[in-house]
Structure 1
Amino acid sequence: MDPNLSCLILFNLICLVACTSENHQHNGSHHYDYCVVGGGPAGLQMGYFLSKAQRNYIILERNSGPGSFFNKYPRHRKLISINKIHTGRQNREFNLRHDWNSLLSDDPNLLFKRVSREFYPPADTFPLYLSMFVKELGLRVLYGVDIGKIRAVQSQTARRYLLTDQHGSHYFCSILLVATGLWVPQTVDFVGSDLVEGYESISTNPEDFKNQAVLILGKGNSAFETAQSILGSASRVHMLSSSPVRLAWQTHYVGDLRAVNNELIDTYQLKSLDGLVESRLEKIVIARKKDNGLYLTLKKYVNVKNSSDVTREELPSHHIDNFPMRKPYDRVIRCLGFRFNFSIFDSSACPPNSENAKGRLPGLTAWYEATDTPGLFVLGTAGHSRDYRASAGGFVHGFRYTVRAVHRVLEQRYHTNNWPSTTLLTTQLQSWILKRVGEASGPYQMFAVLGDLILLRGSDCVYLDEFPLQALPQFSSLSGHTVPSRGLIVVLMQYGKKKIDYLGSNRAETDWTKAWKSNFLHPVLYYYETLPTKDDMKLLPEGWPLPRPKAIHHMVEDFLAEWESPISHIQPLRRFLEHCLQTDLRTFYAESCFRSSLTHHKPPPFCQQGYLKQQGVIHSSELQQHFPTSGLSG
Structure 2
Amino acid sequence: MRKGVEMLDYVVIGAGPAGVQLAFFMEKAGRDYLVLERGRQAGTFFQTFPRSRQLISYNRPPVPSDDAEIQMRFDWNSLLTDGDPDAPKFRNFDKDFLPKADNLVTYLDEFTKQFDLNINYETSVVNVAKSDDVFTITDQNGATYQTRNLIIATGGVPYIPDIKGIDLATDDYSTVSMNPADYEGQRVLIIGKGNSAFEVLNVIQNRAMISILMSPTSLRLAWQTKHSGHARSTLIGPLDAYQLKAINCVILDADINEIRHNGSELEVDITYSHAEGDTQTDYYDRIITCTGFKIDTSIFDDDTKPDLIIDDRFPALTNTWESENVENLYFAGTLTQGIDFQKAASTFIGGFRHNAQALFNVLEEKNHDVAMPRENLSGNPDDMARHIAKRLTMSSALFFQFDFLADVLVYENGKFEYYSGVMMDYAKERFANSELVIIISFLWGQPDNNNVLSFQRRPTREEADASVFVHPILRAYSSGEKQDEQHILEDIYGCYVPGSFDRFFTKSHGEKRLGEWHNYNQVDVIQEFVEKRIAALRKDRAA
TM-score by length of 1: 0.76
Q: Equivalents in 2 of 1:402, 1:271: separation in Å?
A: 44
Gaps of 5+ in 1: 1-24, 301-318, 477-481, 533-548, 584-634
Q: Deviations over 1:527-561 (max 9, x none)?
A: 112235xxxxxxxxxxxxxxxx2121100112232
Q: Equivalents in 2 of 1:429, 1:574: separation in Å?
A: 7
Q: What's the CA shift for 1:499?
A: 6.3
Q: Is the 8 A contact 2:172 2:290 kept in 1?
A: yes
Structural RMSD (CA):
2.3
Match for residue 511 of structure 2? none
Q: How does 1:356-395 map to 2 (within 5 A)?
A: 357-395=310-348
Q: What's the CA shift for 1:132?
A: 0.6
Identify, as 1 or 2, the structure richer in strand: 2
Match for residue 217 of structure 1? 191
Matched, 1:34 2:10: yes
Matched, 1:293 2:265: yes
What amino acid does structure 2 have at the position aligned with 1:233?
R
Q: What's the CA shift for 1:459?
A: 8.2
Q: Equivalents in 1 of 2:522, 2:307: separation in Å?
A: 45
Q: Equivalents in 1 of 2:368, 2:146: separation in Å?
A: 19
Q: Equivalents in 2 of 1:459, 1:176: separation in Å?
A: 38
Q: Is the 8 A contact 1:185 1:200 kept in 2?
A: no
Match for residue 401 of structure 1? 354
Q: 1:459 to 1:365 in 2, by over 3 A?
A: closer
1:55 alignment partner, one of 31, 34, 37 = 31
Q: What's the CA shift for 1:455?
A: 1.4
Which secondary structure state, in structure 2, belongs to the residue aligned with residue 280 of structure 1?
strand
2:174 alignment partner, one of 200, 215, 239 = 200
Q: Is the 8 A contact 2:158 2:173 kept in 1?
A: no
What amino acid does structure 2 have at the position aligned with 1:128?
T
Q: Is the 8 A contact 2:433 2:480 kept in 1?
A: yes
Q: Equivalents in 2 of 1:350, 1:324: separation in Å?
A: 40
Q: Equivalents in 2 of 1:69, 1:277: separation in Å?
A: 30
Match for residue 280 of structure 1? 255
Q: How does 1:160-175 map to 2 (within 5 A)?
A: 160-175=134-149
1:496 alignment partner, one of 445, 450, 457 = 445
Which secondary structure state, in structure 2, belongs to the residue aligned with residue 551 of structure 1?
strand
What amino acid does structure 1 have at the position aligned with 2:477?
Y
Q: What's the CA shift for 1:125?
A: 1.1
Q: Equivalents in 2 of 1:132, 1:272: separation in Å?
A: 46
Q: Is the 8 A contact 2:407 2:441 kept in 1?
A: yes
Which secondary structure state, in structure 2, belongs to the residue aligned with residue 31 of structure 1?
coil
Q: Equivalents in 1 of 2:215, 2:456: separation in Å?
A: 30
Match for residue 95 of structure 2? 117
Which secondary structure state, in structure 2, belongs to the residue aligned with residue 139 of structure 1?
coil
Match for residue 224 of structure 2? 250
Which secondary structure state, in structure 2, belongs to the residue aligned with residue 372 of structure 1?
coil
Q: Is the 8 A contact 1:509 1:557 kept in 2?
A: no
Which secondary structure state, in structure 2, belongs to the residue aligned with residue 528 of structure 1?
strand
Which secondary structure state, in structure 1, belongs to the residue aligned with residue 425 of structure 2?
helix
Q: What's the CA shift for 1:193?
A: 3.4
The structure showing larger relative contact order (alpha-carbon pairs under 8 Å, at least 6 residues apart) is 2
Q: 1:82 to 1:124 in 2, by over 3 A?
A: same
Q: Equivalents in 2 of 1:145, 1:441: separation in Å?
A: 34
Match for residue 501 of structure 2? none
What amino acid does structure 2 have at the position aligned with 1:52?
K
Q: How does 1:553-568 map to 2 (within 5 A)?
A: 553-564=486-497, 565-568=518-521
Q: What's the CA shift for 1:33?
A: 1.3
Which secondary structure state, in structure 1, belongs to the residue aligned with residue 308 of structure 2?
coil
Match for residue 449 of structure 1? 404
Which secondary structure state, in structure 1, belongs to the residue aligned with residue 97 of structure 2?
coil
Q: Deviations over 1:353-381 (max 9, x none)?
A: 12xx3220010001100012111111111
Q: Is the 8 A contact 2:158 2:174 kept in 1?
A: no
What amino acid does structure 2 have at the position aligned with 1:136?
Q
Q: Equivalents in 1 of 2:322, 2:336: separation in Å?
A: 9
Which secondary structure state, in structure 2, belongs to the residue aligned with residue 348 of structure 1?
helix
Q: Equivalents in 1 of 2:430, 2:323: separation in Å?
A: 18
Match for residue 60 of structure 2? 84
What amino acid does structure 2 have at the position aligned with 1:133?
F
Q: What's the CA shift for 1:578?
A: 1.4
Match for residue 378 of structure 2? 425
What amino acid does structure 1 have at the position aligned with 2:451?
Y
Q: What's the CA shift for 1:502?
A: 3.1
What amino acid does structure 1 have at the position aligned with 2:127?
K
Q: Equivalents in 2 of 1:192, 1:137: separation in Å?
A: 45
Q: Is the 8 A contact 2:158 2:172 kept in 1?
A: no
Q: Equivalents in 2 of 1:332, 1:195: separation in Å?
A: 5
Find the structure with the greater CA-based Rg: 1
Match for residue 541 of structure 1? none
Q: Is the 8 A contact 2:390 2:496 kept in 1?
A: no
Which secondary structure state, in structure 2, belongs to the residue aligned with residue 556 of structure 1?
coil
Q: What's the CA shift for 1:175?
A: 0.7
Q: Is the 8 A contact 1:472 1:531 kept in 2?
A: no
Aligned residues: 507
Which secondary structure state, in structure 2, belongs to the residue aligned with residue 98 of structure 1?
coil
Q: 1:135 to 1:29 in 2, by over 3 A?
A: closer
1:464 alignment partner, one of 407, 415, 419 = 419
Match for residue 520 of structure 1? 469
Match for residue 45 of structure 1? 21
What amino acid does structure 2 have at the position aligned with 1:101?
N
Q: What's the CA shift for 1:214?
A: 1.4
Which secondary structure state, in structure 1, belongs to the residue aligned with residue 311 of structure 2?
helix
Match for residue 205 of structure 2? 231
Q: What's the CA shift for 1:467?
A: 1.1
Q: Is the 8 A contact 2:53 2:101 kept in 1?
A: yes
Which secondary structure state, in structure 1, belongs to the residue aligned with residue 445 of structure 2?
coil
Matched, 1:351 2:329: no
Q: Is the 8 A contact 1:184 1:341 kept in 2?
A: no
What amino acid does structure 1 have at the position aligned with 2:333?
G
Match for residue 414 of structure 1? 367
Match for residue 108 of structure 2? 130
Q: Is the 8 A contact 1:509 1:519 kept in 2?
A: no
Q: Deviations over 1:60-108 (max 9, x none)?
A: 0111111101111111111100011212221221121121100111323
Q: 1:349 to 1:462 in 2, by over 3 A?
A: same
Q: What's the CA shift for 1:507?
A: 5.3
Q: Equivalents in 1 of 2:325, 2:175: separation in Å?
A: 36
TM-score by length of 2: 0.89
What amino acid does structure 2 have at the position aligned with 1:442?
A
